[in-house]
């Protein structure tokens, strides 16, 4: 069992929890994830490791309430215990390139932050761009400022930071002469698709972090399959990071939509 040590609402639908999980904390690297179950009958859901302290054994997760399991998780309090907390899983992000632009969209910022920290801790130049629909949804602003050399906050309606899309800022920075060895994008599929297109226009390599439905997290069930180039890859063992230029974003979006409809029905059932 894994005790919830701290719980904090970051915005109306996004929560940060610190879990006592020393075996995960000791080995976790940026980009990896865990699979948890709330209770014995619960489904398994993957969540990216947002932070880990090998000395205290604490692992931070950040999640958005989107379905039945995240709703049940969000209803738990400090002191309660999770049934399973398996990990770290997946391949760690590659911390390569001297100057990188890390882009987070919405709750994807929770995944982008440990990657930004890993580059920053190695002395690489980090430009971070985060984007949200409006001020109420902004998360991790202070943490991104601390983990980057340059930080830009964007919002669709202009109520936080600058008005505009993350792709607008990326393009403006490139045109102003910023050099990036690599762009890393983590967020909604449509955002990653258009960040990829923008970076490709300027010949900059792009890495995207894919977060499809996962079941076993071991490459056996096929739930997390993605089309990458001519191949079928599994996000849980081959990713979650992939070359954005090769990912079939449209296919990933259509699989995700089918899953969200299912989640909506399950959530309504759980609320009855
Ligand atoms: Fe089952 Fe990846 S979660 S193959």
pLDDT digit string, tens, across residues 171-230: 999 999 999 999 999 999 999 999 999 999 999 999 999 877 777 778 888 888 899 999
Give yes or no: residues 198 and 248 share one domain: yes
The answer to whether the CB of 223 is under 6 A from ligand 1 is yes
Domain assignment of residue 120, yes or no: yes
Residue 116 has pLDDT above 80, yes or no: yes
User: Which residue range forms the structural domain that includes residue 143?
Assistant: 99-255
**13-17, 141-145, 184-188, 253-257, range with the lowest pLDDT:** 253-257
Does 36 score more than 80 pLDDT? yes
- The answer on 131 and 187 residing in a single domain is yes
Is residue 82 located within the same domain as residue 105? no
Q: Are residues 108 and 196 in the same domain?
A: yes
Q: What is the mean pLDDT of residues 45-69?
A: 92
Rounded to 10 degrees, the C-alpha dihedral 127/63/165/156 comes to: -130
Task: List the CATH number of the domain containing 26.
Answer: 2.40.30.10
Residues 193 and 122 in one domain: yes
Least confident residue range of 46-55, 106-115, 188-197, 208-217:
208-217
Kindly state whether residues 219 and 187 are assigned to the same domain: yes
Q: Which of 14, 24, 54, 9 is nearest to 217 (CA)?
A: 24
* Structural domain contains residue 266: no
User: Which of 65, 89, 113 is at the close of a domain?
Assistant: 89
User: Using a 6 Å cutoff on CB, does residue 219 contact ligand 1?
Assistant: yes
Within a domain: 66: yes
141 and 251 co-located in one domain: yes
- CA 91 to centroid of ligand 1, rounded, Å: 13
For residue 261, tell me if it sits in a domain. no
Residues 123 and 237 in one domain: yes
Which among 47, 29, 85 is positioned nearest to 214, based on CA atoms? 47
Same domain, 122 and 53: no
Q: Are the CB atoms for 116 and 102 separated by under 8 Å? A: yes
| Domain identity same for 43 and 107 | no
Q: What's the pLDDT at 46?
A: 87
Cα separation, 245 vs 208, whole angstroms: 9
Q: Mean pLDDT of all residues in the chain?
A: 91
Position 201 in a domain: yes
234 Cβ inside 6 Å of ligand 1: yes
Do the domain assignments include residue 264? no
> Which pLDDT belongs to residue 117?
95
Work out whether strand 14-20 and strand 58-64 pair parallel, antiparallel, or are unpaired: antiparallel
Looking at the fold, whether 128 and 246 belong to one and the same domain comes out as yes
Distance 133 CA to ligand 1 centre (A): 31
CA 251 to CA 254: how far, in whole Å? 5
217, 239, 259: which to mutate for ligand 1, most atoms within 8 A of CB? 217
Residue 94 is assigned to a structural domain of this protein: no
Q: Does the pLDDT of residue 144 top 80, yes or no?
A: yes
Q: Is the CB of 210 under 6 A from ligand 1?
A: no
Total domains present in the chain: 2
Q: Using a 6 Å cutoff on CB, does residue 76 contact ligand 1?
A: no
- 270 domain-assigned: no
Same domain, 132 and 225: yes
Tell me if 221 is assigned to a ligand binding site.
yes
Domain boundary at 89, 109, 141, which? 89
Percent of the chain with pLDDT over 70: 94
Q: Whose alpha carbon is nearest atom 1 of ligand 1?
A: 221
For residue 133, pLDDT over 70 is answered with yes
CATH number at 240 reads: 3.40.50.80
């Amino acid at each position: 069992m894994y005790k919830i040590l701290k719980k904090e609402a970051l915005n109306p639908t996004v929560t940060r929890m610190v879990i006592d999980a020393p075996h995960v904390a000791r080995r976790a690297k940026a980009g990896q994830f865990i699979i948890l179950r709330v209770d014995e009958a619960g489904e398994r859901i993957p969540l990216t490791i947002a932070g880990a302290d090998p000395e205290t054994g604490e692992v931070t997760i950040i999640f958005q309430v989107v379905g039945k399991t995240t709703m049940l998780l969000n209803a738990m309090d400090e002191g309660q215990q999770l049934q399973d907390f398996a990990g770290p899983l997946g391949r760690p992000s590659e911390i390569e390139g001297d100057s990188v632009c890390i882009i987070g969209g919405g709750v994807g910022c929770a995944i982008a932050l440990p990657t930004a920290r890993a580059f920053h801790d190695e002395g690489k130049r980090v430009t971070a761009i985060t984007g949200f629909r409006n001020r109420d949804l902004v998360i991790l602003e202070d943490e991104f400022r601390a983990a980057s050399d340059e930080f830009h906050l964007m919002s669709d309606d202009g109520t936080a930071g600058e008005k505009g899309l993350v792709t607008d800022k990326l393009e403006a920075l490139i045109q102003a002469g910023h050099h990036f060895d690599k762009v890393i994008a983590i967020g909604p599929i449509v955002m990653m698709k258009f960040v990829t297109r923008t970076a490709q226009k300027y010949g900059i390599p792009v890495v995207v972090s894919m977060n499809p439905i996962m079941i076993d997290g071991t490459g056996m069930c096929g739930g997390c399959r993605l089309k990458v180039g001519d191949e079928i890859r599994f996000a849980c063992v081959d990713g979650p990071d992939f070359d954005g230029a090769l990912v079939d974003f449209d296919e990933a979006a259509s699989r995700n939509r089918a899953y969200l409809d299912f989640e909506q029905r399950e959530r309504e059932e759980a609320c009855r």
